[in-house]
Structure 1
Amino acid sequence: MSNAPGNGLQIPTLKRLLSSWVVAPYIIATLLLALPSLLRPVDGENTGELISVALSKQSTGPWQSIDLNRLQLPDNHGWMRAVFTLPVSSTTSESTPLGLYLSGTFSARVLWNGEEVGQKGVPGLSPNDESPGPVDTILHLPANTLSPGNNVALIELSSHFRQHSLNTILHGSETLPGLRLASYSAETRRPISYYAAPLLIFALLLVAVFVIASTSVHQQTLALILATALAVASAAEIFRAFYAYPYSWHMLRLGLLACALMVFACILPFYTARRADIVLPTILLPAVMISGITATLLAGPPQDIVHAALWLTVPVSVALTISSIRSGISDSRMLLCALGCLMFSLVLDKDLFFDQYLYVAVIPLLAVLCRPRVAPEVHPVMKNDSIPERLIVNSAGRKKVLDISAILSIQGAGNYAEIKLADGESVLDDRPLKQLLTLLPKSFARAHRSYLVNLEEVKELRSLGAGKYELLLSDGQRCPLSRTHVGEVRERLSQTP
């Protein structure tokens, strides 16, 4: 097949895209996004609709309408009156048995149409009277207690061991509400299909942690922390599908999950900054992490705090990555696409964000974390070990030959590079610094994300205090020297004859 331009995408190019994980992560993410709905069992027609719900301090009323998304119990005890409507087909002796699904940080005793049908723990007026029930429970509704039309569930509730930072004691989402009727099941735990995304991602994350730890990927330590934090969060998420723990344990699980994701949120900008050759003060990292974890545990609903933190750190990471692309770090485009996927997930259904969407959205980022990257300052070995004496400059469609010995420094200028010569002349080249560095001899080094310098023309390395440095060149020019490169430049200057 011809490789001439204008023939469209060629097979070699397609192979490179697939082999470098440019396309595959997004295909996997799309499949995982649809997986929970494909695996979720269908309840069928044997379900009832919740038409009204009210709360009272007494079992006899008076009743006050409530929002289940903001359900709190005065004095941690109360009575709920929930009215469900059932079709005739659900109340016959041949109908599939019905169950009342209760999920949340409360204990409960249920009377269905006046008959007691079961308990979720033991509710009580005081902590001493209450035995915390499991976080998820399914109560069987006998056929003789069901009637066509409206059915009343009178539920005694207590939540003395609840977490006060949560908005509601009732858990669930639109697809899996914490108070609902459905076909009865003896399995009280959350369905594993609901956690299909974090479960599969957990397996990928374990592989990723091994890959990052055993290979030389860019910024290995930060990448390892990011992957480990996600693995801890996904493990805490899927734990609910394996064990119906007492609701008093819920904050331990939720706190672990939220703290792991807060670590992920705090580390992400530092990782993207390092990839962009931007050095953020190292002392900021532990301070940011401690502040984030403290806010997660004390300031409010943990998931709300983490969601807000991601809304702050993901855009910052996007801005840093765009800066690195402008500086000529071309493989940052893959990171930018991954961050864009994560950014998009933040605007989706918030209830499902921590259960599904987040873990789907991090798949492209995971591919970036595991992908080795050659740092810009590393020179490839020339096949003939020769030292180039001239550089052909591409500028406005014209070619110009420069003596490399006459080049003092090269400064990134948007999509161009400004080459500064010993005679004071400046020449523009339409290639990024990263590409030019591969064409220059080893006497050239990256001093800053926007500067290359000829080390043979450096007269002095100056410390300006507060972690800032600069290089003084033979013509009096001053070039900034970032802390990322100061160690390497100092070492190579000591080796320069």
Structure 2
Amino acid sequence: MWRLLLLTLCLTGLAPLAQAQTLSWQACQGVAGPSGPVLSDCRPVQGVVDPQGRELWIRATIKAPDDSRARAVYVSGAASSEVWLNSRQLGSNGRPAQTAQDEVPGRYQAIFPVRETAWRPGANDLVLRLSSFHGGLRFDGPMTALVVRPFPYPQRTALLAITFVAAGTLLAAAFGFGVIHAMRRTGSSLVLAAMAGVAALQAIVESLRALFNYPYPLHAWRMSAIWGLAAAFAVLLVSYVAARYWPKASRLMIGVALIVISATALAPGFDVKTVLALMTGVILASVPAAIGVRDRRPGARPTLAYLAFFLALAIGFPQWLADLSFFLLAAGLVLPLLMVEVVRLGRDDRGREAALTEAVSLPDRLTVASARGVELAPLAEILAVVGADDYVELRMVGGRSLLHAARLEGLQSQLPPGFLRIHRSVIANLAHVQRLERDGTSWRLHFSEGPPLPVSRSRQPALREALEISSIARSV
């Protein structure tokens, strides 16, 4: 855990190096002339640059670089854009316009390299034309970057690599818990599989900007998905902790979590929504964890300590919570639980093997191993055994059935002579057979109860002979 904290502190210390250089912008009335933009009535931009639902011309005065490094104008945001430097057009991203019909949506991120000959000594005039009619949702800060930086700008490959490692780890954990749920049908393993899968999906969606330069109208869907996945993880976290450490109040805690976490959708800004959803889930999950500590439930103390660490890190470094910390902390939570669950399964399997060994000496019963444990099924109550891949279904008297972790071929040798293989996937108990009946071109065997079962043509002679012998034996 201390390594995780050290890594987060180091990454946070590097954050100022990656912050964008801001420019002083003016909003103007403008038109595109034959020799460049023609601007008038320029006024300082109050607040954020916001082209949503309109065409917006902005300008800034920048100094020529004092070194020979190449430069580019970086534009990131939910808008189409065109860029000019000293009346020379650097390029366009989509096609900004005065109406939604005329606008061609651009990419969310655009880079406009600046040729060395475009600069002039001293002050330089940078002009952008923006419009955003297809954003879908209204953002409080639609433009995330309007800066001039060295070109090419270093990518945060270390952050991206860590996010992908966390995502891969979480997907593996989701698969592991899914397998455990298939074997044991435990609710906790299903919730943990969902938690790991949701966190992995959020890591992938969070990284889309670095992997895929998508059209800006998709940004609203991406941000909504990030908040939705964060909210789902928070609700699942509360559900898991409450069911484990305060089960009598688990429904109440889940209901409260659904209401309170859903309310974070009303917060301004998607980053705030996401961080609030995660922090709310952690705070709510801390309540049943604290109850578990009070009641001395196993595992409650480390769970509460981990949640407190998560919360302290979120409060201390909120800017890194959605980008990195959440995925690492989610992986750090579910992986130890997966290891504990695997160890517990190993112990359960050893106990089941001991029970099977003890029960093997009972000749009138079949020892059934299933996800629920070990059960003794009386042979006289078995109507038929139906194969299903690596399992068999025991159809019992009274309409119930049992799943047995065995193959039909291996089970056939354990059953007494009163059981006969009538099909490649069926073994019948002749004591419960009523009649053999033709059904078109095929044959079916009827039992004292339950549906009939098919009989293969190659096994009919042996079945008829066995039924005759059984009939003679009953008449005697």
| 1:101 matched to 2:74 | yes
Counterpart mapping for 1:191-206 below 5 A: 191-206=156-171
| 1:325 matched to 2:293 | yes
Q: Are the equivalent residues in 1 in contact too, given 2:239–2:253 (CA < 8 A)?
A: no
Q: 78, 88, 107: which is aligned to 2:66? A: 88
Residue number in structure 2 paired with 1:185? 152
Taking the aligned partners of 1:218 and 1:169, their CA distance within structure 2 comes to 42
Residue number in structure 2 paired with 1:233? 202
Taking the aligned partners of 1:28 and 1:246, their CA distance within structure 2 comes to 35
Residue number in structure 2 paired with 1:162? 135
Q: Are the equivalent residues in 1 in contact too, given 2:198–2:232 (CA < 8 A)?
A: yes
Q: Displacement of 1:281 after TM fit?
A: 5.2
Q: Deviations over 1:210-233 (max 9, x none)?
A: 222234788212211111110111
Q: Deviations over 1:464-484 (max 9, x none)?
A: xxxxxxxxxxxxxxxxxxxxx
| 1:263 matched to 2:242 | no
Q: Displacement of 1:136 after TM fit?
A: 0.9
Taking the aligned partners of 1:128 and 1:62, their CA distance within structure 2 comes to 26
| 1:213 matched to 2:191 | no
Q: Are the equivalent residues in 1 in contact too, given 2:76–2:143 (CA < 8 A)?
A: yes
Worse overlay, 143-152 or 259-268: 143-152
Residue number in structure 2 paired with 1:444? none
The amino acid across from 2:203 in the alignment is S
Q: Are the equivalent residues in 2 in contact too, given 1:71–1:167 (CA < 8 A)?
A: no
Q: TM-score, normalised by structure 1?
A: 0.59
| 1:142 matched to 2:115 | yes
Q: Are the equivalent residues in 1 in contact too, given 2:77–2:108 (CA < 8 A)?
A: yes
Q: Deviations over 1:402-429 (max 9, x none)?
A: xxxxxxxxxxxxxxxxxxxxxxxxxxxx
Q: Displacement of 1:287 after TM fit?
A: 8.9
Residue number in structure 1 paired with 2:87? 114
Residue number in structure 2 paired with 1:462? none
Q: 247, 251, 254: which is aligned to 1:278? A: 247
The amino acid across from 2:25 in the alignment is V
Residue number in structure 2 paired with 1:79? 57
Taking the aligned partners of 2:158 and 2:76, their CA distance within structure 1 comes to 17
Q: Are the equivalent residues in 2 in contact too, given 1:105–1:248 (CA < 8 A)?
A: yes
Partner secondary structure for residue 78 of structure 1? strand
Q: Are the equivalent residues in 2 in contact too, given 1:48–1:87 (CA < 8 A)?
A: no
Unaligned runs of 5+ in 2: 31-37, 352-476
Higher relative contact order (CA closer than 8 Å, sequence separation 6+):
1
Q: Displacement of 1:352 after TM fit?
A: 3.6
Q: As a proportion of its length, which structure holds more helix? A: 2
Q: Displacement of 1:155 after TM fit?
A: 0.3
Worse overlay, 141-150 or 252-261: 141-150
Taking the aligned partners of 1:74 and 1:257, their CA distance within structure 2 comes to 22
Q: Displacement of 1:84 after TM fit?
A: 2.6
Q: Displacement of 1:347 after TM fit?
A: 1.7
Q: Displacement of 1:348 after TM fit?
A: 3.9
Q: Displacement of 1:31 after TM fit?
A: 3.1
Q: 1:305 to 1:28 in 2, by over 3 A?
A: closer
Counterpart mapping for 1:233-382 below 5 A: 233-280=202-249, 282=251, 285=254, 289=258, 292=261, 296=265, 301-372=269-340
Q: Displacement of 1:148 after TM fit?
A: 4.3
Q: Are the equivalent residues in 2 in contact too, given 1:80–1:155 (CA < 8 A)?
A: yes
Residue number in structure 1 paired with 2:42? 63
Q: 1:261 to 1:301 in 2, by over 3 A?
A: same
Taking the aligned partners of 1:64 and 1:322, their CA distance within structure 2 comes to 56
Q: Displacement of 1:141 after TM fit?
A: 0.3
Q: Deviations over 1:76-118 (max 9, x none)?
A: 21111123334422xxxxx222111111111111111221111
Q: 1:132 to 1:293 in 2, by over 3 A?
A: farther
The amino acid across from 1:356 in the alignment is L
Q: 1:80 to 1:252 in 2, by over 3 A?
A: same
Residue number in structure 2 paired with 1:133? 106
Q: Are the equivalent residues in 2 in contact too, given 1:338–1:362 (CA < 8 A)?
A: no
Taking the aligned partners of 1:85 and 1:48, their CA distance within structure 2 comes to 16
Partner secondary structure for residue 219 of structure 1? helix
Taking the aligned partners of 2:20 and 2:194, their CA distance within structure 1 comes to 46
Taking the aligned partners of 1:49 and 1:229, their CA distance within structure 2 comes to 34
Q: Are the equivalent residues in 2 in contact too, given 1:88–1:148 (CA < 8 A)?
A: no
Q: Deviations over 1:251-304 (max 9, x none)?
A: 1222222211110112222211122133335487489548856863x7754433
Q: 1:286 to 1:328 in 2, by over 3 A?
A: closer
Q: Displacement of 1:30 after TM fit?
A: 3.3
Partner secondary structure for residue 358 of structure 1? helix
Taking the aligned partners of 2:277 and 2:73, their CA distance within structure 1 comes to 36
Q: Displacement of 1:28 after TM fit?
A: 4.2
Taking the aligned partners of 1:359 and 1:265, their CA distance within structure 2 comes to 13
Percent identical across equivalent pairs?
19
Q: Are the equivalent residues in 2 in contact too, given 1:262–1:306 (CA < 8 A)?
A: yes
Q: Deviations over 1:9-52 (max 9, x none)?
A: xxxxxxxxxxxxxxxx44245336646988x9x99xxx995441
Taking the aligned partners of 1:29 and 1:345, their CA distance within structure 2 comes to 8
The amino acid across from 1:184 in the alignment is F
Q: Are the equivalent residues in 2 in contact too, given 1:218–1:275 (CA < 8 A)?
A: no
The amino acid across from 1:132 in the alignment is P
Partner secondary structure for residue 73 of structure 2? strand
Q: TM-score, normalised by structure 2?
A: 0.62
Taking the aligned partners of 1:36 and 1:194, their CA distance within structure 2 comes to 11
Q: 122, 126, 139: which is aligned to 1:153? A: 126
Residue number in structure 2 paired with 1:453? none
Q: Are the equivalent residues in 2 in contact too, given 1:205–1:231 (CA < 8 A)?
A: yes
Give 1 or 2 for the bigger CA radius of gyration.
2
